[in-house]
Amino acid sequence: MNRNEKNSIRKYNGIAHNYDSTFEGKFTMRYRQKILELCDVSDGDRVLDVGCGNGSLINAIRQKGKIEAHGIDISPNMIEECRNQYEGIRFEVSTGEKIGFADGYFDAVTICCVLHHLHEPQKFFEEAHRVLKPGGILIVGEPWNPFPIKQMMDYILSPLLRAGDNKTFTRRRLHRLFDENGFSILPDSYEKDFMQIIKAGKGI
**Digitized pLDDT (tens) for each residue of the chain, 204 residues in all:** 777 678 789 889 999 999 999 989 999 999 999 999 999 999 999 999 999 999 999 999 999 999 999 999 999 999 999 999 999 999 999 999 999 999 999 999 999 999 988 888 999 999 999 999 999 999 999 987 655 554 445 544 444 444 445 567 788 889 999 999 999 999 999 998 889 999 999 987
Amino acid letter, residue 41: V
Residue 50 CA to residue 73 CA, distance in Å, equals 6
In 3D space, the residue among 162, 63, 31, 66 whose CA is nearest the CA of residue 53 turns out to be 31
**Phi and psi of 201, rounded to 5°?**
-110, 145
- Does residue 100 contact residue 77 with C-beta atoms inside 8 Å? no
Any idea what DSSP says for residue 107?
Answer: E
A 10 A CB-CB count for 86 gives: 19
Phi and psi torsions of 171, nearest 5°: -60, -45
For residue 95, give its domain range: 3-202
Dihedral pair phi/psi, residue 72, rounded to 5°: -130, 150
- Beta bridge pairs of residue 140: 111, 198
| pTM strictly above 0.75 | yes
Looking at the 3D structure of the chain, how many domains does it have?
1
- How many other C-beta atoms lie within 10 A of the C-beta of residue 19? 20
40: domain CATH number is 3.40.50.150
